[in-house]
Amino acid sequence: MSAPMATISTPAFRTLLEELGGCDLYGSEMINAASLLTGGPFESYYLMGDPVPEKLVHQLVGGDVETLWKAAEYLDRIPGFGIDLNMGCSAPEIIRAGGGIRWMRSISDARRLLAGTRARVKRKLLSVKLRLGEREDPEYLLSFCQALVQEGIDFLTLHPRTRKDKFGRFARWEYVALLKKHLSVPVIGNGDVRSYEDYCRVRERYHPDGVMIGRAAVRAPWIFAYIRYKEKKALPQNPFTVNLHEIALRFLDLLPRYQPKEFLESRAKRFFKYFSENLFFGHQFFTQVWNASGWEEIRTIVDGYFSLHPEEVVRVMG
């Protein structure tokens, strides 16, 4: 499953993933519940189901119970696979508004939110994505997640880092194994899966029901297809090949179809922050992209880089 990532998991990015082989489920960008209900100018872009609505999980974020209830009820009426409640975001502005990981401070508050949401979400699966909490506390984490299960969630995703960790420490996948052992719903793990080898390691060691990949899928949008390729044990004479230049241009072509003009530059820069890690001179390339003044200039920079470095256009993987 591809992770819900703010400013990244747009319909354009999801379409790119699907064209490169796709994954089982797609997470949307975070959808602010209050903005959804008040009809913000860009909400229609967040709600797009492309490329495959039946594989899309819309993720809601917010700090007000009744607003989240109404937003979930609205999302339940539009095409999609599921609705996910964000209880893991550690961005300061989200926490100040009472959302994200703030929900993990009170089991009773989380119960009330889930009970009302479950009563309103009747057509889709309901899930929660969360972190370890404010600190490592296995007993509290398990009690919290058991409460979510009792209130009717269909599955949950754990990003096993604390609020203060952000992305600074390795994800502690042993907590995924803990939840998998004690909960009666599927448990998906997320964090530090950057390669096929990482994927195999967490599957074999911690036995999650699924694996969610976030930033690594931006760096390598073909990662889901490559995992399937490796699992099929393809013959050496059929190597897995990607064209980095074509992928970069395809993403830029998709952006105007699925994003307002106000977002084109920022979304392109966010994508290339990670995608540039594929390039030998990636730091120099991304500096140029970051300093670009417009989506069109970014395209020119992409073409220019691969013209200067044709040896980097095609990547062959065994």
* Residue at 296 is within a domain: yes
Taking alpha carbons only, the member of 38, 141, 126, 137 closest to residue 86 is 126
Question: Does one domain contain both 131 and 18?
Answer: yes
**135, 141 contact by CB (below 8 A):** no
In this structure, what CATH number is given to the domain that contains residue 204? 3.20.20.70
pLDDT, block means (10 residues), the chain with 318 residues: 97 98 97 94 94 98 98 98 97 94 97 98 98 96 99 98 80 98 98 96 98 98 96 77 98 97 97 98 98 95 98 94
Residue 68: both structure tokens together: 């989240």
User: Are 70 and 32 in contact, with CB atoms under 8 Å apart?
Assistant: no
Give the SS3 label for residue 151.
coil
Last residue of a domain, one of 196, 231, 266: 231
On whether the CB atoms of residues 125 and 168 are closer than 8 A, the answer is no
Last residue of a domain, one of 203, 231, 259: 231
Helix (H), strand (E) at residue 212: strand 210-212
**pLDDT of amino acid 172:** 97
> Do residues 226 and 173 both lie within one domain?
yes
Residue 224 is assigned to a structural domain of this protein? yes
| φ and ψ at residue 57, rounded to 5 degrees | -110, 115
List the Cα angle 220/216/20 in 5-degree steps: 35
| pLDDT score recorded for residue 58 | 98
Kindly state whether residue 273 falls inside one of the protein's structural domains.
yes
Domain for residue 157, yes or no? yes
Domain count for the chain, please give it: 2
The per-residue pLDDT for range 166-195, each reduced to its tens digit, is 666 789 999 999 999 999 999 999 999 999
**Tokens coding 63:** 């700090």
Choose one of 169, 203, 231: the last residue of a domain.
Answer: 231
**Which domain range does residue 287 map to?**
240-317
Q: pLDDT tens across 191-207, in order? A: 999 999 999 999 999 99
Domain assignment of residue 45, yes or no:
yes
